[in-house]
Amino acid sequence: MISGHCLCGAVRYQIDGEAVLMMYCHCEECRRATGSSLNTSIFVRREDFRVISGEEVVGHHESSPGNRRHFCTKCGSPLFKHFPQPPGLITVRAGTLDGDPGLRPTAHIWVSEKAPWTEINDGLPQHQRGPS
């Protein structure tokens, strides 16, 4: 079981089952939504994920059609995202996890939109756009 929470602790979530994948996303939307040079997320099955406390303070912003970015409205922590494709998965912001989810990033995506100051030198595959 994987768990996590926002900065202020109002929102807590739980993931039953294994995370599917971990990736670095450099897209402009993720950069703005997280306020960071890149976004590190894990992909999990939608049915495995649930908010266990603070659901009433979870807000969301639809950054592009079908992409709903959920965050804590008390402290602003970005938490998870619903997206149309591929169906059945959501992403969870890795920085809000408790402990070690047991997997490591496998790729950089949307490198075409990476911040000019970001240098990638970890040897992982780099994709100009999203996962194919």
Binding span for Zn ion by CB under 5 A among 4-12, 16-24, 80-88, 91-99: 4-12
CB of 16 to Zn ion, least distance (A): 22
Instruction: Tell which one of 25, 42, 58, 97 touches Zn ion (CB under 5 A).
Output: 25
6 binds Zn ion (CB under 5 A): yes
Contact by Cβ (8 Å): 57, 74: yes
CB of 71 to Zn ion, least distance (A): 8
111 binds Zn ion (CB under 5 A): no
Considering only residues 47-76, where is the footprint of Zn ion by CB under 5 A? Answer: 72, 74-75
With respect to Zn ion, which residue has the nearer C-beta, 25 or 111? 25
79 binds Zn ion (CB under 5 A): no
Q: How far apart are the first and last CA of the chain?
A: 28
Count of Cβ atoms closer than 10 Å to residue 24 Cβ = 24
Q: Which of 20, 78, 22, 79 is nearest to 45 (CA)?
A: 20
**Helix (H/G/I), strand (E/B), else coil: 57:** helix
With respect to Zn ion, which residue has the nearer C-beta, 52 or 75? 75
For residues 121, 81, 73 and 16, what is the CA-based torsion angle, rounded to 10 degrees?
-100
CB of 27 to Zn ion, least distance (A): 3
Q: Which of 2, 30, 29 is nearest to 15 (CA)?
A: 2
Question: By the criterion CB under 5 A, which residues form the site for Zn ion?
Answer: 6, 8, 10, 25, 27, 30, 72, 74-75
